[in-house]
Amino acid sequence: MRRGLFSWVTVVLVMQVILAGCAEVVSVGTTVGQQMGQISKEDKQKIDRMALDSEKAARPMTEQEEYYVGRAVAATILGKYRLYRNERLTRYINEVGQAVALASDRPFTYGGYRFAVLDTDEVNALACPGGIVFITRGMLKRAQNEEELSAILAHEVGHVNHKDGLGTIQRARWVQVVTLLGSEAAKKVSGAELAKLVSLFEGSVNDVVKTLIVSGYSREQEAAADSSAMTFMYRAGYDPYGLSDYLGKLSKEQTGGAGQGLFATHPGMTERLAKARSVIAANKWPRIGHQIRDQRFQQTMG
Amino acid sequence: MNRKSWIILLGLLMMTSMAMAAAVKVITQEAMIRKDKRFFAPVVTRVPYGEMVEELERQGDWLRVSYRGKQGWIHTSAVQEQKFRLSSLTTEKAQETSREEVALAGKGFTPEVEKAFRDQNPKMRYDLVDQVQSYKIEDQQIQAFIQAGNLREPGGGS
């Protein structure tokens, strides 16, 4: 009986840890269980230990940690590409970017969303974890109006919402970071621990950079970012067709073999276009007029 | 499973749900508590990262909260739900627990780690990252941009 009881009590408590993320609650439960004579002292310690372990292993990266990873990713990218300095343009893309970010599922991140232009003809846009978004001049040049610009930025905001960047960090690295952390809250990290943490940090940053610049996300992640982008655009009052229009343009270029930079990390434009069109059809989104915004786009970019 | 076991199971479940009282932790560098549940509503007060605020009411993506005697609305994406013992919720202990948690979480990728990483990689362009970080758009400016472009003001309670 004792054994059978131990197993179901354990299952309930550990499930609650996963749900509630609180080993302390389990400890209260096991204390009562022990007082009632239903579980032994050893069992209580075992369950408490399991609860604490699973809580620690399950700790996700905090928003603050995401921010620091994102800053390092951005610092790496800004070491490879030149930052394009144009006050008027920078302000404009930040206004468009904020309009779609506020309409996203995650309008607030630790450090907020920021949008910047990279001075290169390569065609690409990159989202660092936490909300720093880069768009190249090559990519900007291909945007015909504010709707298309908002589509590019909303797509990157989608990656930030989905935490796709963080997802590229090898799981083993994060497990090591969590393992390094002692359970004693006030304890300071030692020099050796700090060196190890820095090396794990560097590895994590490199995982993200490699995906952003070399390997790219999966087709599923790109499709999900497209779908979210159109939702954010629609909520913000932009015409979601801006995304399919832009993809249509890139799809034509890709078939023609131009624009190598982007297509290494963003394959299958035609497939993405088809998926985007099906999302529009499923939502029955109408075309939204954008003359007023076309004008200010021309004034800023023209 | 006998009757007694079921009673214990039920008891444990009840205790756990009781323990999950409504306090949320701020997870952005600085979160705004606003007068109404709108992005551009006037700011009642600012709350720094890691502080606990008490949840009073939930409407869509907005929470009505209380912090240091001030009440207002905060967006759900700026906070994280925390589960605390009911007894410690309204006392200083909740803040204390929160600070301990911050310290524990603070032992991962911290400002200290960033500093050590920067020292090891002096060629990294953190100076430019700080510049990009300064491209902050004020509420009024983004609101004017949304209105001038005939866009929709987001987040009206949904």
pLDDT of residue B19: 47
Q: β-strands A114-118, A132-136: how paired? A: parallel
Chain B contact for A176 (CB, 8 A cutoff) = no
Minimal C-alpha gap between B129 and chain A (Å): 6
Whether the CB-CB separation of A156 and A96 falls below 8 Å is answered with: no
Residue A163: which pLDDT band, with cuts at 50, 70 and 90?
Answer: very high
HEC secondary structure over chain B: CCHHHHHHHHHHHHHHHHHCCCEEEECCCEEEEECCCCCCCCEEEEEECCCEEEEEEEECCEEEEEECCEEEEEEHHHEEEECCCHHHHCCHHHHHHHHHHHHHHCCCCCHHHHHHHHHHCCCCCHHHHHHHHCCCCCHHHHHHHHHHCCCCCCCCCC
* Alpha-carbon distances, residue A133 vs A56, A68, A92, A158 (angstroms): 31, 15, 14, 11
Q: How many CB atoms sit inside 10 A of residue A37's CB?
A: 8
Chain A contact for B150 (CB, 8 A cutoff) = yes
Residue B158: which pLDDT band, with cuts at 50, 70 and 90?
Answer: very low
Interacting residues of A182 by C-beta distance below 8 A, sequence separation 6+? B107
For chain B, give the percent of residues with pLDDT over 90: 63
B77-109 confidence digits (pLDDT tens): 999 987 544 444 444 555 555 555 555 555 789
pLDDT of residue A114: 98
Lowest mean pLDDT among A101-110, A266-275, B6-15, B44-53: B6-15
Nearest CB neighbour to B151, from listed A111, A116, A236: A236
pLDDT of residue A260: 55
Residue A268: which pLDDT band, with cuts at 50, 70 and 90?
Answer: confident
Residue A267: which pLDDT band, with cuts at 50, 70 and 90?
Answer: low
pLDDT of residue B92: 52
Question: A102 and B154: CB-CB below 8 Å?
Answer: yes
pLDDT of residue B107: 73
CB pairs under 8 A between A and B: 214
Mutate to test the interface with A, among B37, B89, B113 (most CBs of A within 10 A): B113
Chain A contact for B78 (CB, 8 A cutoff) = yes
pLDDT of residue A125: 95
**What is the average pLDDT across A19-43?**
60
* Alpha-carbon distances, residue B63 vs A234, A267, B25, B26, B43 (angstroms): 24, 41, 12, 12, 14
Question: A94 and B135: CB-CB below 8 Å?
Answer: yes
- Whole-angstrom distance, CA of residue A219 vs CA of residue A204: 22
Which one has a higher pLDDT value, B23 or A52? B23
pLDDT of residue A195: 92
Chain B contact for A98 (CB, 8 A cutoff) = yes
Whether the CB-CB separation of A277 and A244 falls below 8 Å is answered with: yes
* Alpha-carbon distances, residue B102 vs A72, A273, B16 (angstroms): 22, 44, 23
pLDDT of residue B82: 72
Q: Tell me which H or E stretch contains A55.
A: helix A41-58
Residue A150: which pLDDT band, with cuts at 50, 70 and 90?
Answer: very high
pLDDT of residue A191: 82
Tokens of B140: 């009024």
Lowest mean pLDDT among A136-145, A253-262, B91-100: B91-100
For chain A, give the percent of residues with pLDDT over 90: 65
Minimal C-alpha gap between B69 and chain A (Å): 24
pLDDT of residue A49: 58
Mean pLDDT of chain A: 85
